[in-house]
């Protein structure tokens, strides 16, 4: 499900309901996620004031004074807002009940996501400590990407999906950004010029920005906090379009596998 645009869309949907409210109760219905939801969570979270909700990479961070509630959506996680929650369904894992009466419900069929309690500065947490820059951080620029890829013999597409290099870019948005930048996904990263990497930086930002503006992408299960889908999938140039004509040149989009993931691209537009 969620790459950066979907997580950011979720964050924006949660913020007005959650910021400035206190957690009245946490119910853990099924702790089985990537790591078990801590049994102590209901006790430590109850009564805490949510200052704000931040996003780092694809993680959501509910900031509660010096501590944080960290949420990741894996492939199929979602967090929805309910004024009065419906009966619990299969794969509903956690409810966060706010003092306003609103319930935030975490749902995750494949259980690759996480709900963890983090004490102290979240940037020091092992999951966040080694992350590269945010795509919209000015530090992510042509010079940075050029220097960071000089010893990378791997193809640019898996490199772009490496969170040590830059965060938030998953399989969909890596493919779409490379199309927009006119770069073939199989090109060894170290062979790309500074100028072309600069173009890639620009197109990563443009692609993510456009996707956020459309509420993210909904392929199967992603819905926002109100249960609404995103619409950016309608704007895809290459992802999931193998065999179909390129929207720019008409050539058939082809698909290859890189690091176990499907990559689609246009042979004519991407060199």
What is the nearest approach in angstroms of DNA to the Cβ of residue 218? 5
Per-residue DSSP letter, 41: H
Complex with DNA: residue 30 or 51, whichever CB lies closer: 30
Complex with DNA: residue 20 or 240, whichever CB lies closer: 240
Catalytic residue, candidates 56, 58, 63, 196: 58
Secondary structure, 3-state, 24-39: EEEEECCCCCCCCCCC
Q: How far is CA 203 from CA 48, 54, 136, 208, 268, in A?
A: 40, 24, 11, 8, 18
What is the nearest approach in angstroms of DNA to the Cβ of residue 222? 3
Could you list the residues that contact DNA (CB under 7 A)? 1-3, 6, 34, 57-58, 72, 74-76, 90-91, 109-112, 127, 151-155, 158-159, 161, 163, 170-172, 189, 216-222, 259-262
What is the nearest approach in angstroms of DNA to the Cβ of residue 260? 6
Sign of CA dihedral 9, 15, 35, 56: positive
Complex with DNA: residue 7 or 96, whichever CB lies closer: 7
Read off the tokens for 90: 């299969």
Complex with DNA: residue 51 or 210, whichever CB lies closer: 210
Residue 123, classified by CB atoms within 10 Å of its CB into exposed (0-12), middle (13-18) or buried (19+), is exposed
Strands 23-28 and 59-64: unpaired
Selection from 248, 244, 222 nearest residue 233 by Cα: 222
Is residue 43 part of the annotated active site? The answer reads: no
Is residue 58 part of the annotated active site? The answer reads: yes
What is the nearest approach in angstroms of DNA to the Cβ of residue 113? 8
> Please, which residues have CB within 8 angstroms of residue 47's CB and are 6 or more apart in sequence?
22, 23, 24
Is residue 2 part of the annotated active site? The answer reads: yes
Selection from 217, 215, 252 nearest residue 236 by Cα: 217
Catalytic residue, candidates 3, 6, 8, 176: 3
Complex with DNA: residue 129 or 250, whichever CB lies closer: 129
What is the nearest approach in angstroms of DNA to the Cβ of residue 242? 9
Positions annotated as catalytic residues are 2-3, 58, 261
């Amino acid at each position: 499900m969620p790459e950066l645009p979907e997580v950011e869309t979720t964050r924006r949907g949660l913020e007005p309901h959650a910021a400035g409210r206190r957690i009245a109760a946490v119910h853990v219905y099924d702790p089985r996620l990537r790591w078990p939801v801590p049994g102590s969570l209901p006790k430590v979270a109850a009564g805490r004031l949510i200052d704000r909700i931040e996003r780092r990479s694809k993680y959501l961070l509910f900031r509660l004074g010096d501590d944080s509630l960290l949420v990741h959506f894996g492939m199929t996680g979602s967090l929805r807002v309910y004024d009065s929650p419906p009966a619990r369904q299969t794969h509903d894992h956690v409810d966060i009940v706010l003092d306003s009466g609103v319930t935030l419900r975490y749902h995750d069929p494949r259980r690759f996501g996480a709900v963890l309690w983090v004490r102290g500065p979240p940037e020091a947490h092992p999951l966040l400590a080694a992350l590269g820059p945010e795509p919209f951080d000015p530090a992510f620029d042509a010079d940075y990407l050029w220097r960071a890829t000089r010893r990378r013999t791997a193809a640019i597409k898996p490199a772009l999906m490496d969170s040590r290099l830059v965060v938030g870019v998953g399989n969909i948005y890596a493919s779409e950004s490379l199309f927009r930048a006119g770069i073939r996904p199989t090109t060894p990263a170290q062979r790309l010029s500074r100028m072309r990497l600069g173009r890639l930086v620009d197109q990563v930002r443009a692609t993510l920005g456009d996707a956020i503006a459309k509420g993210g992408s909904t392929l199967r299960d992603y819905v926002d906090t109100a249960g609404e889908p995103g619409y950016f999938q309608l704007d895809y140039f290459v992802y999931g379009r193998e065999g179909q004509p390129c929207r720019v040149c008409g050539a058939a989009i082809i698909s290859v596998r890189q690091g176990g993931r499907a990559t689609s691209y246009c042979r004519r537009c991407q060199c």
